[in-house]
């Protein structure tokens, strides 16, 4: 049984990760911000199965709220074993139309949040000389996405942080890895029209888009593995080989 925090755990990939980890008997804290209804639905759904999941509202792009999340987590559990930085937003816009506010908000939610949460929880891992950090990046953080420059930049920054931090924390027996999902069937991708989705499928070696459970399987492996760190694992069906 491990003590786990999942940021942005109320929808999509995060919700799948929360449910599956909780079903396996782990202590899971689900962090959410805007999606309280969805978070409580997950909590109730699992409760009906005899599984307890804690939920906590915090905007992880704000350092002070992350500190509150930290205090809540450690009021429940003495130590943290796994930190999964999943909170994020997306936006499709031409580069020339990205406002200062768009840019700052994207970096705050998708990158600064990873800095804040990791900073507030890693000291406990260092003290225990054990831990696992998994950052959910994106295929666009690896190859860049047209009309998603700010999103790509934030996700690429997450990858750089993953690699650098893995070197710094390795001697403390803390593994830091990133997952770069391709096209996954989540609410975040619902704004892409059907024609574009069909065209994307033609570019994917496996001929289909992924499911959140595909990402969870990688998360599960990274939690159990003891010798992988500093890696960026693309789960994209062979979209970019």
What pTM was computed for the model?
A: 0.96
pLDDT attached to residue 241: 83
Q: Is the pLDDT of residue 220 over 80?
A: yes
- Assigned fold of 3-234: Rossmann fold (3.40.50)
**Which of the residues 32, 151, 227, 240 is marked catalytic?**
151
Supply the mean pLDDT for the chain. Answer: 96
Q: How confident is the model at residue 184 (pLDDT cuts 50, 70, 90)?
A: very high
pLDDT attached to residue 194: 79
Beta-carbon contacts of residue 33 (< 8 Å; ≥ 6 apart): 8, 57, 58, 59, 60, 87
- Minimum mean pLDDT among 141-155, 162-176, 183-197, 218-232: which range? 183-197
Q: Is the pLDDT of residue 19 over 90?
A: yes
Per-residue CA distances from 184 to 17, 41, 197, 213, 233 (Å): 14, 22, 11, 10, 15
- The mean pLDDT of 68-73, rounded to a whole number, is 98
Q: Is the pLDDT of residue 240 over 70?
A: yes
- Minimum mean pLDDT among 24-33, 62-71, 75-84, 194-203: which range? 194-203
pLDDT attached to residue 50: 97
240 is catalytic: no
Q: How confident is the model at residue 186 (pLDDT cuts 50, 70, 90)?
A: confident
pLDDT attached to residue 176: 98
Q: How confident is the model at residue 188 (pLDDT cuts 50, 70, 90)?
A: low
Q: How confident is the model at residue 191 (pLDDT cuts 50, 70, 90)?
A: low
Residue % of the chain over a pLDDT of 90: 93
């Amino acid at each position: 049984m491990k003590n786990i925090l999942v940021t942005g755990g109320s929808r999509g990939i995060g919700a799948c990760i929360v449910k599956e980890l909780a079903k396996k008997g782990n202590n899971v804290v689900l962090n959410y911000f805007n999606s309280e209804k969805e978070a409580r639905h997950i909590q109730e759904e699992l409760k009906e199965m005899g599984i307890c999941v804690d939920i906590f509202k915090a905007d992880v792009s704000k350092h002070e709220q992350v500190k509150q999340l930290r205090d809540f987590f450690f009021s429940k559990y003495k130590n943290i074993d796994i930190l999964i930085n999943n909170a994020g937003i997306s936006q499709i816009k031409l580069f020339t139309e990205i406002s200062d506010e768009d840019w700052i908000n994207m970096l705050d939610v998708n990158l600064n949040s990873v800095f804040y949460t990791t900073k507030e929880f890693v000291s406990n891992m260092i003290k225990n000389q054990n831990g696992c950090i998994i950052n959910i990046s994106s295929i666009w953080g690896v190859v860049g996405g047209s009309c998603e420059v700010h999103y790509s930049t934030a996700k690429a920054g997450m990858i750089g942080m993953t690699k650098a931090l893995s070197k710094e924390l390795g001697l403390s027996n803390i593994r830091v890895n990133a997952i770069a999902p391709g096209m996954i069937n989540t609410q975040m991708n619902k704004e892409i029209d059907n024609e574009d989705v069909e065209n994307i499928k033609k570019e994917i070696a496996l001929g289909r888009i992924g499911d959140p459970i595909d990402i969870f399987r990688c998360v599960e492996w990274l939690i159990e593995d003891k010798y992988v760190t500093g890696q960026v694992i693309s789960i994209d069906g062979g979209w970019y080989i």
